[in-house]
Structures are given as structure tokens and as C-alpha cells.
Structure 1
Amino acid sequence: MTHYRTYLIDLDGTIYQGKTQFPSGKRFIDRLKASNSDYMFVTNNSTKNPAEVAANLTENHDIATTADQVYTSAMATADYLVEKQFKQVLVIGEAGLREAIQANGIDIVDKQPADAVVVGLDRQINYEKLTEATLAIQAGATFIATNVDTNLPNERGMLPGAGTIVAAVQTATQTEPIVIGKPSVIIMEQALKRAERTADEVVMVGDNYNTDILAGIHADIDTLLVYSGVSKPDDVHEQSVQPTHEVDTLDDWSIED
């Protein structure tokens, strides 16, 4: 095995499951801290700001976390908008996404003209929001999706994710979006910049082959798949490209290796 300078770590299904604590997730983070290993939580969730994500880990899962240890798809989207010099953006999304964009000095507009349309999870979605997004893209705005997750795990079940809203806009515009979140390489490239690391210095840890692991593979980053959430061994072993490492539980991973 390889010694990694920084661990990029998924949250839901990896460190916890919804409101359910994973003792192995907490022990994994405790071992990273004890070994002075750097780590950053990388999540496709665009609805919450990093302080809220950190508070959830600290208060509900007994994993003391600060905002600077969290990198969301909203933050990666905002960094991408700055990099590409977009100035006016129409947003379908919640507070975490809007705050991340505005914090980078980008104007949010409600209708065209707009340089870009950013679509994330929005639990107050309505027809008028879809209409304005559609018209702006038809007028030439770049279509950007925070992520295309089809479902959002919840105590009620697998609720509609951001991908369902992205699909509606894509259907109306017949336009493929630029996707920021996992499994896209973009969020990984932005996370590496944030962590000030190169691809060969980090490992992506997650429970979902189709998001976490593919994101690492696309970015030439080593991956650690833990079978505590979405993916199952039989399904993963049929894939043409395998994770770098696999464990049944994070307790099985040796930090010192």
C-alpha cells in the first residue's frame, strides 16, 4: 500500500448514513488525526455551506470538524465560475450554493441575460425557475450542474436528487451540462488545488463506485472503496477499472501503510 499525504473523503455512506452514526467512520477519522494525516471531506451536497456540514459532523456524529475541512460541490462550482470568469449567473439551488457563488463576487440574477445557468438541488423548484433557466440557456448561457445525483438518501427513502432537476432543464434545452460534482474530474481538480496537493499525493475514499471512485479514476487519483453504503462487491468486480483499494469497513484500512 501507499502512504498518502491527504485523504479526500466522502460523507454519506462512508462516514455516516443519514442520521445514523458509523462507529467505524469516527474511528477512521480519529486514526487520521492521531497519525497527523491531512484529510478533507468532499461532498456532492450543494445545499449546505461548509460550516453547516462541519456542525453536522461535530454535533451529530461526534467528529470534531471545522469548515475548512469541508469541500462541497457548491464551493467547487463557485471556484469553477471564477476560473472561467463568469460574471452573472442564474441559479437554481439552495442557500449553500447561492452563498458560495456570492462569496466569490459573482452576481446572481433571476432571469436573462446571464453568462451561465447553475443547477443544483432546489427543494423549492417551480415551473417559473425552470422557465427562466431554459430561456437563459437557449439565449446562450453556459449550462452547469453542481452534480447529477439521481437520489438523495433520507430517512423517508431515496428522495429525488439534483440530477432530477438537471434532467428537466436538459430535456427542455436539449443541452448537455458541464457537471462539477463527482464523478466529474472538475471537483477533484478543484479539491486538489484547495488541498495544495498533486494527484499522486492523495486518495479518494468513498462508498459509491459510480460517483466517488469514478471521480478518482477520472482524475488519476488512487481510490479506496469501502463497502458500507451504495456499492456491492459483486457489482464492482464486474467493472473494467477497479478501485485501487477495497475494504469491507474503514476499520480494515491501515493508516500507517
Structure 2
Amino acid sequence: MRRKILLLDMDGVLVKDKALNPFPDTLPFLDFLRSEGIPFRVVSNNSTRPPSTLLEDLSKKGINLKEDELITPLKILPVYLRELHCSRLLVIGSPLLAEFLVEEGFQVVEDQKVDAVVIGQDRNINFTKLKLATSAVFLESAKIVPVNHSRIVRDDDGLYFPGAGSLAHMLAHACGYSQPIPNLGKPSEEFMRLALSGMEGDEVYLVSDDLYTDLVGAKEQGIKTIFITTGKYSKEELTKANFEPHYVVDSLTELMELLKTL
């Protein structure tokens, strides 16, 4: 039997809301992976809090992960910004994201004279932030650096809002920005290299509820794709996207049974 490596999205797969409440079968599923010796990592595009805080918050919900079992774009972001020599930043994102960057040695300000505009999920986005970000790119040639390429995000009330990737492309369109917009999250090659580092196996499977941000790009890289319907998209979205994942499951319990056959 071929040895499997599992990469698990977090939102919509292991947790069902922004409070990180697990699905009923999340903990039994993780116990199954450990008991069967199936190597896995949780790969999340979460931009609202640093990995260390995310680990603590997950632990409070009963999801106990080791430090190297959780990979997020914030493990890549500081390195990328230093490579660009960007030290002065405007942040569209959560207070925890701004605090994280300050702790990493960056200067976070609230004006347009910056080296880069960092874009994450921001529940307090307003006209002033958008005006400063637009002015930073248009007047100061600031770089646009989204934490991920998330297109759309489902909130706990079932409604949707634009993700960091959509905001980044909106800003680029408004400013005539011609440089490539980096993807520091999954399934970029840099992110996937980090996620797979130190792991041994014959086949890699990515489990996600997001076909646009995650699964399409992963399949192009030769990664096996498993679409789960517990998150933001239903099966009908596959037809709209003209995308066929390798497998489709409706729960982690169903995924558990599938893994026994692979």
C-alpha cells in the first residue's frame, strides 16, 4: 500500500466557525490519523492570528497540534517582506496580525508612506484604510502583499465577504499595479514546500472546502485533491468551476472510510 501524506485545511474542514469550534467528528478523525500512523499537517491560510496563538486557541477547543503540524502563511510573510527590503508597512488586517509584524521587527504605521501594504482578513476595514492603501500603492509605489489569495470567505452567519486575494486584486486594478501579486498561502509552491518539509510518503492529498483557492492549484502541481462539502462550497460549485477533484466527501467520517481504501 502506498504511503499517504495528508494536508488538511482548517476552516470548513476541521473547524466550523470563526470561534474554531470543531465538527463532531474532528477529534475522532485526528485520533484515527495518529493511530494509523498517517502523517499529516494542518495547512491554513488564516491571517487573523500568529501560528502560536492559533495553536493555543485550537487547544482550548480540544484540537491539540504540535508546532510543526500547523503551517500558515505567517510563517512565510516576515521572510518574504525582508527579502523585498520592506520595513515600513500599512496593514489591512486584524490587530493580532499588526502586533505579530511589530514583534517581527517591522514598523506598522497608519499613513501612506510605506514600503508595502500587507493585506489579511480585516473585519474593521473602512474608507480610511482603503484610501491609505490606494494612496500608498498609487503615490508611493508600495508593494501589494496579501497574506493569501483567498477569494471569498464565509462568515458564521452564512453570508460571504471578499478574501485577502480579492482585496489585493481590487487594489492592483485601481492603481494600475503591474507587478505580480505574491501568494504566500496554499497552494503556492513555497507554501507547499514548507508544508511537506520533513515528511515522507508516496502520495500527497490536500483536503479542502475551497476549490478555487486551494484545490485547483494543488491539482496542477500533481497533488491529489479531496473536496469536502462541510465548508463554504457545495457540490454544485464543482460544475460552475468546471473542476473535478480526485475525491468528494461530505464529512471527516466519510473521509476516514475513504482513507482506509487508498
TM-score bracket, shorter-length normalisation: 0.7 to 0.9
Shift of 1:41: 1.7
CA contact 1:82–1:104 (8 Å) conserved in 2: no
1:39 matched to 2:40: yes
Q: What is the 5 A alignment of 1:1-257? A: 2-4=2-4, 6-18=5-17, 20-60=21-61, 62-138=62-138, 139-149=140-150, 151-163=152-164, 165-166=167-168, 169-170=171-172, 172-175=174-177, 178-180=181-183, 185-186=187-188, 188-196=189-197, 202-236=204-238, 239-251=241-253, 252-254=257-259, 257=262
Over 3 Å counting, the alpha-carbon distance change for 1:149 and 1:158 in structure 2 is farther
Higher strand share: 1
Q: Is the contact made by 2:6 and 2:41 (CA closer than 8 Å) also made in structure 1?
A: yes
Q: Secondary structure of 1:192's partner?
A: helix
Tell me, in whole angstroms, the C-alpha distance in 2 between the residues paired with 1:245 and 1:2.
17
The residue type paired with residue 10 of structure 2 is L
Distance 1:150 1:231 in 2: 12
Contact 2:206 2:218 in 1 (8 A): yes
Q: Percent identity?
A: 26
Aligned equivalents of 1:115, 1:255: Cα separation in 2: 50
64-73 or 37-46, larger mean C-alpha shift: 64-73
Q: Residues 246 and 162 of structure 1: is their aligned pair in 2 closer, same or farther, counting only changes over 3 Å?
A: closer
Q: How many residues align?
A: 253
Deviations 1:164-205 (A, max 9, x none): 6446634542437715255x643x522422541589753211
Mapped partners of 2:73, 2:101: distance in 1: 11
Shift of the 235–157 alpha-carbon distance from structure 1 to 2, 3 Å rule, reads closer
Any unmatched runs of 5+ in structure 2?
none
Contact kept in structure 1, 2:90 and 2:111, CA below 8 Å: yes
1:229 Cα deviation after fit: 2.3
| Distance in 2 separating the partners of 1:75 and 1:150 | 21
> What's the CA shift for 1:34?
1.4
Cα 1:2–1:244, aligned 2, differ >3 Å: closer, same or farther? farther
Q: Check 1:228–1:193 CA distance in 2 against 1; reply closer, same or farther (3 A cut).
A: same
Cα distance, 1:206 vs. partner?
A: 0.8
Paired letter, 1:70: L
Do the aligned residues in 2 keep the contact of 1:150 with 1:162 (CA within 8 Å)?
yes
Structure 1 length as normaliser, TM-score?
0.79
Q: Which segment drifts farther, 247-256 or 90-99?
A: 247-256
Structure 2 length-normalised TM: 0.78
Partner SS for 1:21: coil
Tell whether the 8 Å contact from 2:2 to 2:202 is kept in structure 1 after alignment: no
Distance 2:98 2:27 in 1: 30
Q: Taking structure 1 as reference, are residues 120 and 83 closer, same or farther at Cα in structure 2, changes over 3 Å only?
A: same
- Gap regions ≥5 residues in structure 1: none
Please give the secondary structure, in 2, of the residue aligned with 1:225. Answer: strand
